[in-house]
Amino acid sequence: MKYLLLVSFLLSCSHQVPTVRSPYNLKEVNGFLITNSYVSPFDVPTEGDTLLVKYDVVLKNLEKRKREIDLSHALVTSEKKSFPLGCQSYENKQVTFAAEANEIFRITCEAKVSKSVANSGDTKLLIGISLAGENAVFEYVIRAEDVK
Amino acid sequence: MRTFLILLLLSFSALANRTGDAVGTAAFTAGATAGFVAGTQHGYYNSIIHQELKGWSDKRTDTTTELSNDCGLNSEFHLVGNHARNYLLIGLSNTKAENVVVQNSKIEFVYDNERKRFPGWLGHPSDYEVRAGWWFVGYIPFPTKEEFHGTDVIEAKIPVLNSKGESCVVTATFNKKEEILNENISYSIFEYYLEGGVSLFELGSTRKLGSPESLFGLGLNFYLKPNHGFGFHLLSETGFKGSDKERVYREFEKGRNYRANTFMINLHYIYRHFFSPRFTLNYEPALGNQVVHDEKKFRKQGLGDPISSAFVISQKFMFNWNFSSIRSHPVLNINFFGGVGPIYIWIPAQKINGESIAGHRFGLLARFGIGF
């Protein structure tokens, strides 16, 4: 009986167990060092038929010059479809801005993704953040239970 | 509690994985507990979200993140802390074509560009090899939290050896933005205590009961945050004596010497104010129930039921002094403390055999406790 209770308890808690949403990544892209440490492993919020995917990165401009950044072309891509990814600087909420030499800054992004991307089970999305002409790409896992 | 358990696991472990792998397979352990990658990544996230030191956070990112590509390695650093220790949280990605060795035994911290300190390892630190294309994250403990007070710049130096045995130092420099006392002191998150004391005076109808000879109590406190918590305590006031006692108990026994006791069970909120790392003030307002009873022989003689219970409100101001600490584990520090302070008990409405004993009682308590 006690094992039944224990299993019931664990099952009832299972939806709260965090999973790896986006594998840990600390990489250099086009002269920017980027970490995705701040991406939440918890549940993806939903709004009707869409999933609210949030992505959060901290970057350092490794070059010894000011770099212009335009985040307006950021995208979330699934196997079948792409969705616009709204990105902005954390500090000033700007889509286009300049990163000083060696400056550390933060970018937050948000996209509305159709639940249909996970119709046939778990799927991986690609988060693409444009950085001075080159995309920084990260995987993001949508699980079947996220769209239930 | 969740944070405690996660840190208990992570305090012994670091994580290694191949860069770019979707789901890792291996968890590196520093000779102790292994953890699943998901759980560990969650722990890493949990640390930097909930335990990053706000006083050292940069307003541009609202984090303590420092990024570096020293020695051809991508590395990130954060300052985090729990109630017992502060840590340097390090993530290192080896993008080189050769394996490198992180020399944990030679890591140094430099405070304010002048004072050198070694990490507060609790066991012998072993060097760690990061294979080409792999990464790892780990916690490096600072020797004491208290040293963060008054320190404005901390430089971390992480020596790394390449495959030829050549050494290179990865550095990260943190600048304090704001002095936050809680981030510079070790404190308990759970404590239990015993109390004893005396009554000072009474106001209102409760004087009919007289004054208790002594107060004795015990309690538990749980702190959800450094300054806020909750707890419960039991308090007994024994040996009530007073000139008005006959008025309350005259129906039972006239002219007979008796002793009445009260017994209270209270739930309380705690506000803890730190005057210094060792000296605190606890304000503990409580709601509870008071039971008044006399010696059992009254009931045995069939003189009626003298038991009366009522709702009470009490408040304590306890000045606590942490006089000794034992730190033998990353998250387990044992603090011994003593305290003294006044207690105020308000009985809004209570009757014994139709007579009100409502009123106010004031006392003085001394406390001895152990915190973790």
pLDDT at A4: 53
Contact B184/B277 with Cβ under 8 angstroms?
Answer: yes
pLDDT in tens, B322-346: 998 887 665 567 899 999 999 999 9
| Spatial distance between the Cα atoms of A131 and B277, rounded to a whole number of angstroms | 46
pLDDT at A86: 95
Contact B9, B33 (CB under 8 A): yes
Contact B23 A33 (CB under 8 A): no
What percent of chain B is modeled with pLDDT above 90? 43
User: SS in 3 state form for B195-239?
Assistant: EEEEEEEEEEHHHHHCECCEEEEEEEEEECCCCEEEEEEEEEEEE
What angle separates helix B2-10 from helix B37-50, to the nearest 10 degrees? 120
- Mean pLDDT, all residues of chain A: 87
- The interface residues of chain B toward chain A in range 245-304, judged by CB-CB distance below 8 A, are none
B175 at A interface, C-beta within 8 A: no
Q: Cα distance from B23 to chain A (closest Cα, Å)?
A: 7
* DSSP conformation class of A144: G
B3 touches chain A (CB under 8 A): no
Q: Of residues B118 and A12, which shows the higher confidence score?
A: B118
- Work out the percent of chain A whose per-residue pLDDT is above 90: 61
User: Residue B50: closest CA among chain A residues belongs to which residue?
Assistant: A38
pLDDT of residue B242: 57
> Which chain A residues have a beta carbon less than 8 Å from that of B91?
24, 26, 35, 37
- So what's the pLDDT on residue B20? 35
* Contact (CB<8Å) A104/B24: no
More confident residue, B154 or A79: B154
Which of B34-38, B50-54, B66-70, B166-170 bottoms out in mean pLDDT, i.e. has the lowest?
B34-38
Q: Which strand (E) or helix (H) includes residue B88?
A: strand B86-93
Which residue out of A28, A37, A142 would a mutagenesis test of the B interface target, given it has the greatest number of B Cβ atoms within 10 Å?
A37
Output the six-digit token pair for A54: 């949030």
- Per the model's pLDDT, the better-predicted residue between B249 and B179 turns out to be B179
Q: How confident is the model at residue B295 (pLDDT cuts 50, 70, 90)?
A: low
Residues of A in contact with B39 (CB under 8 A): 18
- The residue among B63 and B307 whose pLDDT is bigger is B63
At residue A75, the pLDDT reads 94
How many other CB atoms are there within 10 angstroms of residue B325's CB atom?
16
Q: Is B133 left (phi over 0), alpha (psi -120 to 50) or beta?
A: left
Tell whether the model's pLDDT for residue B92 goes beyond 50: yes
Option in B49, B65, B69 nearest A62 (CB): B69
Q: Which amino acid is at B28?
A: F
Is A23 close to B20, i.e. CB distance below 8 A? yes
pLDDT at position B5 = 38
Q: b/e per residue, B145-184, with b = 16+ CB within 10 A? A: bbbbeebeebbbebbbbbeeeeeeebbbebebeeebbbbb
The ipTM estimated for the assembled molecules is 0.85
Q: In this predicted structure, what is the pLDDT of residue B62?
A: 94
Number of neighbouring beta carbons within 10 Å of residue B361: 26
pLDDT of residue B78: 95
Average pLDDT over residues B98-102: 92
**Candidate from A24, A28, A91 with C-beta closest to B60:** A91
Residue B32, pLDDT > 50, answer no
What phi and psi, each to the nearest 5 degrees, are found at residue A35?
Answer: -125, 145
Phi, psi of A38 (to 5 degrees): -95, 10
Contact A95, A85 (CB under 8 A): no
Cβ–Cβ < 8 Å for A111, A84: yes
Given a cut of 90, whether residue B29 has pLDDT beyond it is: no
Chain B residue with Cα closest to A39: B45
Does the structure show a pLDDT above 90 at B54? Answer: yes
Token pair recorded at residue A41: 């492993």
Predicted confidence (pLDDT) at residue A144 exceeds the cutoff of 80:
yes
CA distances from A43 to B41, B45, B47 (A): 15, 14, 18
Confidence band of B34 (pLDDT split at 50, 70, 90): very low
Spatial CA neighbour of B55 closest among B140, B153, B123, B165: B153
| Residue A148, pLDDT score | 77
> Inter-chain contact A23–B62, Cβ cutoff 8 Å?
no
B65 to A37: CB separation less than 8 angstroms, yes or no: yes
Cβ distance of A59 and B67 shorter than 8 Å: yes
Between A and B, how many residue pairs show a Cβ–Cβ distance under 8 A?
Answer: 97
**A101 touches B at CB < 8 Å:** no
B180 vs B33, residue with greater confidence: B180
Instruction: Render pLDDT for A32-90 as a digit per residue (tens, 0 to 9).
Output: 999 999 998 888 888 889 999 999 999 999 999 999 999 999 999 998 899 999 999 99
pLDDT score at B100 = 93
B139 vs B48, B282, B350, CA distance in Å?
12, 32, 57
Q: Distance from B171 to chain A by nearest Cα, in Å? A: 14
Lowest mean pLDDT among A102-111, B92-101, B243-252, B305-314: B243-252
Is the per-residue pLDDT at B1 higher than 80? no
Residue A66 near chain B (CB below 8 Å): no
Considering only CB atoms, which chain A residues are within 8 Å of B69?
Answer: 28, 33, 62
Closest CA to B195 of B286, B278, B260: B286
Q: In this predicted model, what pLDDT tens digit does every residue of B209-262 receive, in sequence order?
A: 778 888 999 999 999 888 999 999 999 887 776 555 554 554 444 444 455 677
Tokens representing B231 are: 């707890």
Collect all residues of chain B within an 8 Å Cβ-Cβ radius of residue A105: 60-61
- pLDDT at residue A136, rounded to an integer: 94
Which residues make Cβ contacts (< 8 Å) with residue B229, sequence separation at least 6?
B221, B222, B223, B269, B270, B272
- Of residues B29 and B241, more confidence is placed in B241
Q: Identify the bridge partners of residue A137 per DSSP, sorted by sequence position.
A: A128
Note the pLDDT of residue B177: 94
Tokens of A69: 């950044």
Q: Which residues of B touch A62 (CB under 8 A)?
A: 69
**Residue B73: per-residue pLDDT:** 92
Cα B138–Cα B143–Cα B145 angle in degrees, nearest 5? 100
* Average pLDDT of chain B, as a whole number: 80
- The pTM of the full predicted model, rounded to 2 decimals, is 0.75
- Residue A14 reports pLDDT greater than 80: no
Q: What band does B33 get if pLDDT is binned at 50, 70 and 90?
A: very low
**With 50 as the cut, is the pLDDT of residue B24 above it?**
no
Which residues lie closer than 8 Å to B180 by C-beta, 6 or more apart? B53, B54, B55
One DSSP character per residue, B280-296 reads EEEEEEEEEEEEEEE-H
Give the range among A48-57, B1-10, B55-64 with minimum mean pLDDT: B1-10
Q: Rounded to whole angstroms, how far apart are CA atoms A86 and A110?
A: 5
Q: Is B68 on the interface with A (CB under 8 A)?
A: yes
Give the CA radius of gyration of chain A.
18
Q: Residue B93: which H helix or E strand, with range?
A: strand B86-93
**Residue corresponding to tokens 């500090």:** A91
Reduced to 3 states, what is the DSSP secondary structure of residue A16? helix
- Rounded-to-integer distance, Cα B76 and Cα B32, Å: 24
- Of B131 and B247, the one with more pLDDT: B131
